[in-house]
Amino acid sequence: MTYFIQLLISGLVVGSIYALSALGFVLIYKSSRVLNIAHGQIIASGAFIAYALTVYAGVPLIISFFLSMVITFFLSMAVERVFLRRLIGEPIISVIMVTIGLMSIIDGIIYLTPFGSTNMSFPKFFPPEPLNILGATVSWTQVVGVVLTAIIIAALSWFFKNSTLGISMRAVSDDQLASMSIGISVPKVFGLAWALAGLTAAAAGGIIGNITGLNFDTLHAFGIIVFPVVILGGLDSIGGAVVAGVIMGLIQQFAAGYLDGNWGLQGTAEVLPYIILLILLLFKPHGLFGTHEIERV
Amino acid sequence: MRRRHTLSQTQIRRRNMSNIGQDSAARLLEVNNIEVVYNDIVQVLRGVSIGVTEGKIVSLLGTNGAGKTTTLRAISGLLKPENGHIREGYIKFDGNDITNVLGTKVVTLGAVMVPEGRRVFKHLTIEENIRAGSTTRKDGSKKIKADFDAMYQLFPRLTEIGNKMAGYCSGGEQQMIAIARAMMAAPKMLMLDEPSLGLAPLLVKEIFENIKHINKEMGTTILVVEQNAKIALAISDYAYIMESGKIVLEGHSKELQNNPDVKEFYMGITKGGNRKSFKEVKSYKRRKRWM
Ligand SMILES: Nc1ncnc2c1ncn2[C@@H]1O[C@H](COP(=O)(O)OP(=O)(O)O)[C@@H](O)[C@H]1O
Ligand SMILES: [Mg+2]
Beta strands at B27-38 and B84-93: parallel, antiparallel or unpaired: antiparallel
Segment A255-270 mean pLDDT: 75
Using CB atoms within 10 Å of the CB of residue A118, give its burial: 0 to 12 exposed, 13 to 18 middle, 19+ buried. exposed
Amino acid making up residue A246: V
**A31 part of contact set with chain B, CB < 8 Å:** no
CA distance B246 to chain A (A): 24
**3-class secondary structure, B230:** helix
The residue whose CA is least distant from atom 12 of ligand 1 is B44
Q: Which ligand has the minimum distance to the alpha carbon of residue B73?
A: 1
Q: Phi/psi zone of residue B219: left (φ > 0), alpha (ψ -120 to 50 degrees), beta? A: left
The full set of domain ranges for chain B reads 27-287
B269 pairs with which residues across the strands? B275
Chain A partners of B103 at a C-beta cutoff of 8 Å? 180-181, 183
User: What mean pLDDT do residues A59-72 have?
Assistant: 92
Confidence (pTM) = 0.87
Residue B146 C-alpha from the chain's centroid = 26
- Rounded CA gap, B291 and B286, in Å? 9
- In Å, how far from its chain's centre is CA A29? 13
User: Which pLDDT value is given to residue B241?
Assistant: 94
Ligand 1 midpoint to CA B271 (Å): 32
* Averaged pLDDT of chain A: 87
**B149: pLDDT strictly greater than 90:** yes
Residue B212: how many CB atoms within 10 A of its CB? 15
Instruction: Say what the pLDDT of residue B286 is.
Output: 44
B185 with A178: Cβ contact below 8 A: no
- CATH number (3.40.50.2300, 3.90.1150.200, 3.40.50.300, 3.40.50.1970) of B27-287 reads 3.40.50.300
> How confident is the model over A232-258, as pLDDT tens digits?
888 888 888 899 999 989 988 888 777
Dist CA B115 CA B138 (whole Å) = 23
Domains of chain A: 2-283 (1.10.3470)
- Rounded Cα gap, residues B23 and B12, in angstroms: 20
pLDDT given for residue B272 in this prediction:
53
User: Residue B62: CB within 6 Å of ligand 1?
Assistant: yes
Give the largest CA-CA distance in chain B: 61
| A189 in Cβ contact with A57 (< 8 Å) | no
Is the model more confident about A185 or about B262? A185
**Chain A residue nearest residue B123, CA to CA:** A174
Tell me what percent of the residues of chain A surpass a pLDDT of 90.
43
What b/e readout covers A149-169, taking b as 16+ CB neighbours within 10 angstroms? beebbeebeeebeeebebbbb
Closest CA to B61 of B267, B275, B219, B271: B267
Say if residue B42's pLDDT is above 60. Answer: yes
Judge whether residue B163 has pLDDT over 80: yes
With a 6 Å cutoff on the Cβ, whether B70 touches ligand 1 is yes
Judged by CB atoms closer than 8 Å, whether chains meet at A182 and B133 is answered as yes
Contacts of A222 (CB under 8 A, 6+ apart): A17, A18, A21, A40, A43, A204, A208
Question: pLDDT band for position A31 (50/70/90)?
Answer: confident
Predicted confidence at residue B278, as pLDDT, reads 44
